[in-house]
Amino acid sequence: MAAGHSPLSQFEIKRWVPIQIGDLDVSFTNSAAFMALTVIGVSAFLVLGMRRHALVPGRWQSMAELSYVFIANLVKDTVGTEGRPYFPFIFTVFMFVLFGNLFGMVPYGFTFTSHIIVTFTMAVVVFLGVTVIALIKHKLHFFTFFMPPGVPLIMAPLLVPIEIISYLSRPISLSVRLFANMLAGHTLLKVFAGFVVALGLFGAFPLAFVVALTALEVVIAFLQAFVFTILTCLYLNDALHLH
Amino acid sequence: MSEPGPADDLQKLDARLKRAEEAARKSGPGGVPKDKPSGNALGLALRVGVELVSALAVGLAIGWLLDAWLGTRPWLMLVFILLGGAAGILNVYRMARGFGYAVGYKPDKPTGRARPGDQGPGIEG
């Protein structure tokens, strides 16, 4: 197989408009382009969908309203009424990840959620934000979070580090889950697509598999956006209610 | 004179909507089971793996940095790898106990209200 057709070449970052500020490389890459496209896509989907704001919604308006109500209910169920002020952020995160995943499914598209640095940055923003909210709301009481109630004091030197590590592992597991799912799915698609041509007439079998896999990938795109959002909500719930 | 027409249906629908809204208002956080298993064994396996490894990685990193700072290489790293492994097991344990996606999450205090599907004390038991 030629070097350009490696299953991993789809994840390559390409500089479209090289920009250099000092030692900093801030080139406009294909990743940045798809992020911009995602933001434009989400805005267009919601703003144009609600343009007519009819009492009886059409298909497009229904989809826009459905996504709003879906996340609003999610926030209400997991965080409760105190979660209302954070709804815009959570809705933005959901739409950004969802549209990023879906734009990645377009042929020749680029999936920026398959890059750990993108998902990790989002996870760190969520993690720091939630921690700051907890610190503002509960002040120093927040640190009792790391000491489970009813534990003998003699166990504290062992348990508190474990709890802190468990807490710090949140952004990593949050980001790796999204990143690994997108990376594995898209690589698998490309590998099986490579078999189609290589097997000649028998390529029909991997082709059928690729069709099924594509459908599965669309489901995963929704599912992982949902998982990322519900985890954000649950962390926010922890921060606000602090058991 | 009043046959079951559209108006009747609408009234029934109105009553149902009111009931649903009432129920929705009552259910605060935790009123709804938080985590439905996705029914996807591969997804579950991936989750367990990610939880285990990420906690271990954090433990390793903390130990490494503390060693570099205090000049005690390699002892603190060894200790924190073990602690990280323990934290990973704890993450998986909490996940398996049905506290769902909420890693590092604590069950309600034994004195507090019980979450549906949560029997007995958690790790502090």
| Per-residue confidence (pLDDT) for residue A7, from 0 to 100 | 84
| Per-residue confidence (pLDDT) for residue A241, from 0 to 100 | 84
Q: Please list the ranges in chain A whose pLDDT falls under 70.
A: 1-4, 243
| Per-residue confidence (pLDDT) for residue A110, from 0 to 100 | 93
In chain A, residues with a C-beta closer than 8 Å to the C-beta of B88 are: 169
The whole-angstrom separation of Cα A88 and Cα A96 is: 12
Please indicate whether residue A10 or residue B20 has the higher confidence score (pLDDT).
A10
DSSP-derived 3-state class of residue A21: strand
In chain B, residues with a C-beta closer than 8 Å to the C-beta of A127 are: none
Q: Do A151 and B105 touch (CB under 8 A)?
A: no
The whole-angstrom separation of Cα B3 and Cα A186 is: 58
| Per-residue confidence (pLDDT) for residue B78, from 0 to 100 | 94
- Percent of chain B exceeding pLDDT 90 equals 27
Q: Do B54 and A148 touch (CB under 8 A)?
A: no
In chain B, residues with a C-beta closer than 8 Å to the C-beta of A176 are: 50, 53-54
**Nearest CA distance, A33 vs chain B (angstrom):** 30
In chain A, residues with a C-beta closer than 8 Å to the C-beta of B106 are: 145, 148, 243
The whole-angstrom separation of Cα A109 and Cα A97 is: 15
| Per-residue confidence (pLDDT) for residue B89, from 0 to 100 | 92
Question: Residues 6 or more apart from A185 whose CB is under 8 A from it?
Answer: A213, A216, A217, A220
Instruction: Give residue A110's domain range.
Output: 3-241
| Per-residue confidence (pLDDT) for residue B124, from 0 to 100 | 32
**Nearest CA distance, A164 vs chain B (angstrom):** 9
Q: Do A150 and B31 touch (CB under 8 A)?
A: no
Name the residue facing A149 among B24, B27, B109 (closest C-beta). B109
Q: Are A130 and A61 in contact (CB under 8 A)?
A: no
**pTM confidence score:** 0.80
| Per-residue confidence (pLDDT) for residue B40, from 0 to 100 | 67
| Per-residue confidence (pLDDT) for residue B106, from 0 to 100 | 52
Determine contact: A180 vs chain B, CB below 8 A. yes
The whole-angstrom separation of Cα A99 and Cα A111 is: 10
| Per-residue confidence (pLDDT) for residue B115, from 0 to 100 | 41
| Per-residue confidence (pLDDT) for residue B26, from 0 to 100 | 58
Q: Do A168 and B34 touch (CB under 8 A)?
A: no
Half-sphere exposure of A41 (CA within 13 A, CB side): 16
| Per-residue confidence (pLDDT) for residue A207, from 0 to 100 | 92
| Per-residue confidence (pLDDT) for residue A156, from 0 to 100 | 87
User: What's the alpha-carbon Rg for chain A, to the nearest Å?
Assistant: 22
Q: What is the pLDDT of residues B37-55, one digit of tens each?
A: 445 677 788 888 898 999 9
pLDDT band at residue B109 using 50, 70 and 90 as cut-offs: very low
Q: Are A160 and A167 in contact (CB under 8 A)?
A: no
Q: Provide the residue ranges of all domains of chain B, joining segments of one domain with +.
A: 51-101
Q: What is the pLDDT of residues B63-105, one digit of tens each?
A: 999 999 999 888 999 999 999 999 999 888 888 876 554 444 5
As for how many domains chain A has, the answer is 1
Determine contact: B34 vs chain A, CB below 8 A. yes
Q: Do B46 and A177 touch (CB under 8 A)?
A: yes
Span of A115-124, B20-29, B53-62 with lowest mean pLDDT: B20-29
Q: Are A100 and A178 in contact (CB under 8 A)?
A: no
Q: If you measure CA to CA, which chain A residue comes closest to B30?
A: A78
| Per-residue confidence (pLDDT) for residue B117, from 0 to 100 | 39
In chain B, residues with a C-beta closer than 8 Å to the C-beta of A150 are: 109-110, 121, 124
Give me the torsion for CA of B79, B67, B92, A138, rounded to 10°.
Answer: 110
User: What's the alpha-carbon Rg for chain B, to the nearest Å?
Assistant: 24
At residue B34, does pLDDT exceed 50? no
In chain B, residues with a C-beta closer than 8 Å to the C-beta of A181 are: 46
Give me the torsion for CA of B99, B100, B102, B108, rounded to 10°.
Answer: -20
